[in-house]
Every structure is written in C-alpha cells, then in structure tokens.
Amino acid sequence: MSAMSDRVLSPLDRLLDQADRALRASLARPSALRPNPASDQPDRLVDESARRHAAGLMRVNHAGEVAAQGLYHGQAITARRPEIRAAMEKAAREEGDHLAWCRARLDELGDRPSVLAPLWYAGSLAIGALAGTAGDRWSLGFMAETERQVEGHLEGHLARLPEGDERSRAILQQMKQDEASHARAAMDAGGAELPLPVRALMRLTAKVMTGTAYRL
C-alpha cells in the first residue's frame, strides 16, 4: 500500500484528488487494465456512412462510461460504510476499462468523444452523491438499476451496429457482460429496488444524454 493511501487526506487533498479524477475521466486518454476485447477482430468497415454511424454509437457509449465514472465517484464520496465506498471505487476502476476501450474504438474510427464529456461527468457526480446520501441500500439499488438500464441500452446498440463491425461488437458484448455482473453484485450486497418513478426518471435522463452525445 502506498504512503498516499496510508495517510488521512485533508479536505484540500480530497478536492484536488476529485478534480484529478474528473479531468482523467472526461478529458484524458485512459488506459485499460484488461486486454481490449476487440484486439483479435478485423476492422472491415470501409463505407464512410457506416463508420460515422458506428462512431456515433461508440461516442454515446464513451459518454455513458464518463457518466459512470461520475456516478460511482459521487456515490463513493457519500457512502456511509467503508465497504460500500470500496465497492463503488472498484466498480469505477472496472468501468474504466470500458472507457478506454470505447475511446480506442473512436480513435480507430477517426472520430472523437462527446464535447460535453465534462458536463456528463459533473452531472453524474452530483447524481451519484445524491444517491449516496439516501443511504447505502438505496445507493446500491441505484447502482443495480443503472447497470440494468445500461445493459438494455447496449443490447440496443448491438442490434444497431453496422454489419461487419466486429471490433465494436466485441467491446459492447464484454461491456454488457460486465454491467450484468455489477448489477447482480450490487443487489447481492443488499441493494434496494428503486421505486418506479425513480427508474422512469433515470431512463428519461439517459435518453437525453444518449440522443445528444450521438451528435455532440
């Protein structure tokens, strides 16, 4: 364990640490801990319109992963029990692989992330912190519901990918498996099912973000 992780952080230390996380998640070029699932898949997309469509979808997914970083960082900040804070930090690290894979695919497609990435992070950080203040059971339930909705969203994107885009498909399939695993883990840890109006509001918020990120 490093000296930094051993010592107690001051409020200023925590503020600077969070600012660093925000910059890394929304603006930096991330690196993954796991191998890219697309590494052994050929890139057969040659049609320009198909490449633009694939890039739009992957930009949405990249934006979603930026938002996931914000959510989990926010939930970690307001978690009441150390083990819940650790679970949120672990989820953020694992989702960081998704962020790196989506960015790598965008680079391959000659495109860019959403210009609104800092906004997606900041808004999600606030939402995550709010979820955490409701209590650990609700925070875990929020995590599970988020992952379920993302899993459904990825299923839709897998159906919309251009034919032959096996590199994007491999990434999204692995992401979908990971999201399902995170949802199960959150409920197994004691997550509470969210009320229907909250789930509906989450879907509406996600719809606004995905529709905007496809173009911007």
pLDDT digits (tens, 9 = 90+) for 151-164: 999 999 999 999 99
Nearest to 56 by CA among 120, 121, 106, 108: 106
Tokens at residue 140, please? 């875990």
Q: Which domain holds residue 58?
A: 45-215
d(CA 202, CA 145): 9
Q: Tokens 């952080």 sit at which residue? A: 9
Residue 111 lies in a domain: yes
Q: Is residue 38 part of a domain?
A: no
pLDDT in tens, 87-105: 898 888 888 999 999 999 9
86 lies in some domain: yes
Q: What is the pLDDT of residue 44?
A: 85
Per-residue pLDDT tens over the stretch 183-200: 999 999 999 999 999 999
**Comparing C-alpha atoms, which of 153, 162, 158, 160 is closest to residue 43?**
162
CA distance 182 to 184: 5
In the predicted structure, residue 176 carries a pLDDT above the cut 60:
yes
Distances (CA, A) of 207 to 77, 103, 122, 127, 185: 26, 21, 17, 16, 25
Does any domain span residue 32?
A: no
CATH number at residue 63: 1.20.1260.10
Which stretches of 134-165 are DSSP H helices? 136-160
The answer to pTM > 0.75 is: yes
Q: Is residue 194 part of a domain?
A: yes
User: Considering the domain boundaries, does residue 20 fall inside one?
Assistant: no
Interval 53-72: pLDDT, tens: 999 999 999 999 999 999 99
- Tell me, yes or no, whether 29 lies in a domain: no
Domains of the chain: total: 1
Residue 27 pLDDT greater than 80, yes or no: no
pLDDT grade for 7, boundaries at 50, 70 and 90: low
Q: CA 187 from chain center: how many Å?
A: 18
